[in-house]
Chain A
């Protein structure tokens, strides 16, 4: 939520920039947006009509770059490096940060070896520096670095832009959560009723026993 609040103004700014710039200057806007240190969401910019109209023109590779930053990873860039324009260091860092978010989507425990391989980092120190300085300090992830087990335990990761096919899965998960919460509430209600009934029965039983005791005392 903090991330969204922080980047809301930036998203508005770049969307306005995309609306107002002509076709020739849009690539600069895209490069500026993908280099910005505080922006991690690009769906809104992708949805701007001026940007979508770039497809089929000589600037369509920049739309691909924006798409890569919205949904892709550093590995995806390496696979398509001939087709895509060269990236500035800020863009490379941004893409690697977004890659960590993608990895955290599927696994909560990220082994150092896998991260070093995916992010092209040569040693553990460099990886930890990257995770701490670029990921944790920027607030996109929160977690624990376990040096003994050589893994990064992710407690929180900011959400990336959604692909259309991911929406259905999300809806199903939310429905499942809602159902299990409702079931929990129903079972709590049932337990409350059961406890009340038991308590009433107990009191009645106690009273019966006391009455019988009194009656026995009087008769003896």
Chain B
């Protein structure tokens, strides 16, 4: 079914959705911040 194939093709071409250095930097910074908060919470618990 050509219509479905075109839609699938369009969908697959969107992947990966975000691929940029800036996003990676922001994402990893968010990751680090959350891990830091977890670490601080563990210390507070102790």
Contacts and interface: CB of A to CB of B under 8 A. Distances in A.
A and B touch in the complex (CB under 8 A): yes
Contacts of B19: 108
Contact of A156 (B5, B8, B14): B14
A208 interface: no
A166 interface: yes
A202 to B, nearest CB: 11
Nearest to A40: B6
Given A41-B2, A41-B3, A44-B2, A159 B9 contact: yes
A151 interface: no
A105 B5 CA distance: 14
Contacts of B12: 170, 173-174, 177
A157 interface: yes
Interface string A177-215: 100000000000000000000000000000000000000
A159 B6 contact: yes
A158 interface: yes
Contacts of A174: 8, 12
Given A159-B8, A159-B10, A177 B15 contact: yes
Interface in B1-38: 2-3, 5-15, 19
Contacts of A11: 3
Interface size class for chain B? 10 to 19
Contacts of B11: 159
A177 B15 CA distance: 10
Nearest to A7: B3
Contact of B6 (A4, A47, A173): A4
How large, as a class, is the contact surface on chain A?
Answer: 20 to 34
A124 interface: no
Contacts of A167: 5
Given A173-B15, A177-B15, A158 B3 contact: no
A81 interface: no
Given A156-B14, A157-B13, A173-B12, A162 B7 contact: no
A11 B13 CA distance: 23
A162 B2 CA distance: 8
Contact of A158 (B2, B5, B6): B6
Given A4-B3, A41-B3, A177-B15, A158 B10 contact: yes
Given A173-B12, A174-B12, 11 more contacts: A41-B2, A47-B2, A155-B14, A159-B7, A159-B8, A160-B9, A161-B6, A162-B2, A170-B5, A170-B8, A177-B15
